Amino acid sequence: MENQLAILLLIVPGYIARKIYKHTNDVRDDLSTFEETLYCLMFSGIISIVAVSIMLVSIHGLCFNYSTLQATDVQVYANNLEFIAKYIGLVLIVATILGLITYRLNEWYTYWINKARGSQKTAVTLNQSIFDTYFNDRKYRHYIELYKDDKLICRGRLNNCVEKYKELGIEPCEDQFIELEERLGKIPYKHIYYDGRLGIMIKEYDVRIPVTQDE
Written as tens digits, the pLDDT of the chain (215 aa) is 566 666 777 788 888 888 888 777 666 666 778 888 888 889 999 998 898 888 878 777 666 666 666 656 666 666 777 878 888 889 999 999 998 888 788 778 877 877 787 766 666 666 567 787 787 776 778 888 899 988 998 888 888 777 666 778 888 888 887 887 788 788 888 889 988 888 889 999 888 776 665 55
Q: Any bridge partners for residue 140, and if so which?
A: 210
- Nearest-angstrom CA–CA distance, 132 and 149: 21
Domain ranges of the chain: 2-117, 130-205
**CA-based nearest residue to 126, from 97, 140, 105:** 105
Is the whole model's pTM more than 0.95, yes or no? no
Rounded Cα distance between 81 and 87, Å, is 10
Helix axis angle, 81-117 to 71-78, nearest 10°: 110
In this structure, are strands 200-205 and 142-148 parallel, antiparallel, or unpaired? antiparallel
